[in-house]
Amino acid sequence: MNNKLKRFVSMTAAAVISAVSMPAVMPVTAADTTSFPYVIEGEDMEGADLWTAIYQTEIPGYSGKGFTYITGGPMSFTVNAPADGMYSILVKGAEILDENGKKEGRFQTIEVNGSEYSKTVAYSEEWTDYDFGMVRLKKGENEIKFLNKYGYMAIDYVTVSEAEFPDLSIADDTLTDPDATPEAKALMKYMKSVYGKNILSGQQEIYGGGHSVETTIRYDASQDKCLDSDGNEYEIDRDSKDTDKDGNTFYWHCTGSDGQVYTYNSQNRNYGYNDYDFEMKYLEKTTGELPAIRGFDFGSYCPCYAWDDGVAQRIIDWGTKKNGIVTASWHINVPTTMADYTLGEPLDFAKTTYSEKTDFVTANCYKEGTAEYDYFQLCIKNLAAELQKIQDAGVPIIFRPLHEAEGNGPADGKGAWFWWAKEGAEVYKKLWDFLRDELQNKYGLHNLIWEQNLYTWGDTSNQWYSGDDKVDIVGYDKYNTQYHRHDGNASGVPNEDAEAGIFYALYDMIGGKKIIAMAENDSIPSLTNMEVEHAYWSYFCPWYDSEQAHFVMGEEYQNVDTLTELYKSDFCITLDELPANLYTDSDTPDDVKVTTTTTTNDSDTDSALKGDANEDGKVSISDAVRILQYVANASKYDLSSQGKINADVDGKAGVTGSDAAEIQKYDAGLIKEFK
Ligand code: CA
């Protein structure tokens, strides 16, 4: 998700071109139902001029009297559709405007009943089929209009057909990782079994320190109890005993009768918690159901600050206790200014970013000997440590790293808004391959179903696809309540379009070989729209609520009635409708193992071992992360007294980021022993 959803397209000064012929007058009457496929000559459209050459440039082989050329006002025609549904628009056209020899094609916009659809039209000096994809027409009269915005397309003729829906069953359910875990294989098999028949419900949870909840719970030293203002008692975690700066005893954690763990706030001395179930509770209360898929994010495990927000345990719980499906993105930050950063040292969150506004060189991530390489290695290590716990627990993840790469389109050939896309598609794809290779081969992580975000802005959008052998699921992030609306409504109300035109354009882009999901969204498409449009997204997954946008609870994003109708429908699969054998129903039953063990950082070995800050009996990158957490927030991530002794390895008194750096050097083999 990113807030900068507006598309910026720079206007290019247009050559002054005048029409060379008389305007054609050919009004289209649509009193009767149109017979499809319907063909109209470009020159016969309302408002069109007849052209036979563009200056000296001839484009021979046109049909009819000639063609039309988009230079001035709009040109339109109407069709009378027999039913509400999807129709395909194909333009026989040419695009000969060559800017500085670039021949990059141009952005062309059509308008259907007032809603705009745009695509990049490739440069062509010959008549070419430009597929504007599927649009939804309503029963009765529909106006289709060609707008003069940035495109100077020549139109020979236009064909409107009733949509033919392609075969979704050709999607592959064999994972691209040959060593995929049995659980990942079983999940993919299930995803395929319902694809084209149902939609899986999903919901993203907040990450980091979001949805913080204050309570009245306080530690009463005189009674040695944790109590709230109503006198309810909370069980004290006696291991979390500490003293404040005035020497008063307190405990970091206590637990309510419902199992909720509360954490001490050193500012106001009350206990509170982060409500990661905020959206789940709302959905259950509103619809009576929980979603089948829960979305997570590993963004908190950035080497600069490394907040442990407990995501791995929540993922394991969702997969093993709830028998739910897990998807996860990775909002991984980099230093905004590399000169501010010392490898392994903490850096203020405010000096980091996931946006493209950084001097971090993306292409260096996979080039050894660069600062960015060293940094990205730490990012992967932190991520892998969390993924390992989840793999050990037998939970697969629909993993969607480096997401929304193309973003708002191909205006300058670069991606939008995230650092991993700012150097263009080739660098982005190399980074994707590098991350895959590191996680699979260096860290042995095979519980991942690789999901890649794609868009359908134009013929160059497929440059962002890493290929059939590197991607298992294709995801599209739908944010169109403000821009790119096709539902005819003004902004400020939900947009429940099913966006089948985009779904089938993605299908065409990848030859239908992969399952296609709405990986993130604002408004959830309505049941009716999905039925009418034949939209078969594998799943939907609204982003979490925040101060900036209330994607779940805000009436500007979701209609409660349509949300509830969908959740309760047979078409939509909710958590309780997932099969009990979700993670065991593999084609290769011999491989299947049911894993119930979970990994924890707890250890019985309170041994003195230099570097072993987390006291797990070994020295690893986890110790460096643990130290950075402690340095960033000692009250939340305190070390035990033995842990502090173990952590202090740099020869200087006290535990600092310098100790973490020493452990990283040790882990990397750069030093053999500590000072
Ligand atoms: Ca023509």
pTM over 0.85: no
The alpha carbon of 34 and the centre of ligand 1 are apart by a number of angstroms equal to 20
Q: Name which of 89, 102, 258 is nearest 158 in CA terms.
A: 89
CA of 61 to the centre of ligand 1 (A): 9
Per-residue H/E/C for 323-357: CCEEEEECCCCEECCHHHCCCCCCCCHHHEECCCC
pLDDT of 607: 65
For residue 123, how far is its CA from the centre of ligand 1 (angstroms)? 19
Q: Show Cβ contacts of residue 176 under 8 Å, excluding neighbours closer than 6 positions.
A: 450, 468, 469, 470, 471, 472
CA of 158 to the centre of ligand 1 (A): 9
- In angstroms, the CA 16 to CA 282 distance is 57
Q: Tell me what pLDDT residue 628 has.
A: 77
**pLDDT for the residue 633:** 65
pLDDT in the model for residue 398: 98
Q: Which residues surround ligand 1, an ion (CB under 5 A)?
A: 41, 62-64, 67, 156-157
Going from the Cα of 95 to the center of ligand 1, the distance in angstroms, rounded, reads: 15
* Nearest C-alpha neighbor of 185 from the set 394, 379, 21: 394
pLDDT of residue 587: 53
Rg (C-alpha) for the chain, rounded Å, is 29
Q: What's the CA-to-centroid distance between 289 and ligand 1, angstroms?
A: 55
Measured in Å, residue 133 CA sits from the centre of ligand 1 at 21
> Who's near 619: CB < 8 A, 6+ residues apart?
609, 610, 611, 612, 663, 666, 667
Domains of the chain, start order: 38-162 (2.60.120.260), 179-208+277-567 (3.20.20.80), 212-274 (no CATH), 587-667 (1.10.1330)
pLDDT of residue 21: 40
Report mean pLDDT in 10-residue bins for the chain, 675 residues.
39 32 44 91 97 93 96 94 96 89 85 91 94 95 94 94 97 98 98 98 93 95 96 94 91 91 88 95 97 97 87 95 98 97 94 96 98 98 98 98 88 78 96 98 98 91 96 97 87 94 97 98 97 97 95 96 97 97 69 38 57 86 79 73 88 82 82 83
